[in-house]
Amino acid sequence: MIDVSQIPVRDFIEANTTRLISTAYIDEPALAPLADDENELSFLEGLEGLSSSRRGLPEFIPSGVDPGELVNEYHGYGWTYVNAAFCYTRETGNRFNGSERGAWYATWKDDRVETAMAEVAWHLTRELEATGVFDNITAYRELNASFATAFHDLEDCTEEPIFKPDPETGYPAGQRLAAQLLIAGSNGFIYPSVRRAGGSCLAAFRPHVVQNIRQGDTWVFEWAGSPEPTISKSSGPIRMSGD
């Protein structure tokens, strides 16, 4: 078991980190086909926002998130994506967050895009395995963000249960550790990727530490009858090896 008092804290100053999100959340607004002009679109988006937790409305925010910690338009471009990461969660949570509160997951270092691809590919493949049909095309775009904060460093904890590949084992252990450090005031973790050897990831626990969001390249993940996807962009396809 990890002694939380012994986990080192390091200054994390990084201009470029990468998170891949579906282009369905970035491209043409979902309400655009219903509007004849920008004024109508603005009106409809205002109505949609009345039930949108990413815009910080208390009645739609999960129990583990304080509305006061969510960011707003003064945070700059991408503030709704940040809030969405904390407010829209899976029922089972992820490696370092439960269902009551999300986190901003991203990758870093020079190979950050390849690591992000491996992480996304693993999760999408797992979802397709549940259906038994490996036939899917999904486009993802890079959201690149900067950080200047302090994170707990888990890079020397690779043998701990928190990094077990099976979510049934790794996630409960990781969520317990994250809950302890969240209460203690931690801003998040940097840690080694479980889905790509040598890759580096981060989980930010506080919305305000995610800074300077920019869009990057778009990548298309395609499964054509096999659990191994082809990932491509305009420069050509990239084959992914299995986890």
Q: Say if CB 165 and CB 237 are below 8 A apart.
A: no
pLDDT value of position 3: 87
pTM for this entry: 0.85
pLDDT, one tens digit per residue, over 160-187 is: 999 999 999 999 999 999 999 999 999 9
Q: Say if CB 231 and CB 237 are below 8 A apart.
A: yes
pLDDT value of position 9: 97
Which residues have a Cβ under 8 Å from the Cβ of 130 and sit 6 or more positions away?
A: none
Q: Say if CB 210 and CB 126 are below 8 A apart.
A: no
More confident residue, 239 or 115: 115
> Is pLDDT at 98 greater than 90 in this prediction?
yes
pLDDT, one tens digit per residue, over 191-210 is: 999 999 999 999 999 999 99
More confident residue, 39 or 188: 188
More confident residue, 48 or 41: 48
pLDDT, one tens digit per residue, over 51-62 is: 444 454 555 789
**pLDDT (mean) for 213-234:** 92
Give the residue extent of every domain in the chain. Answer: 9-27+92-239
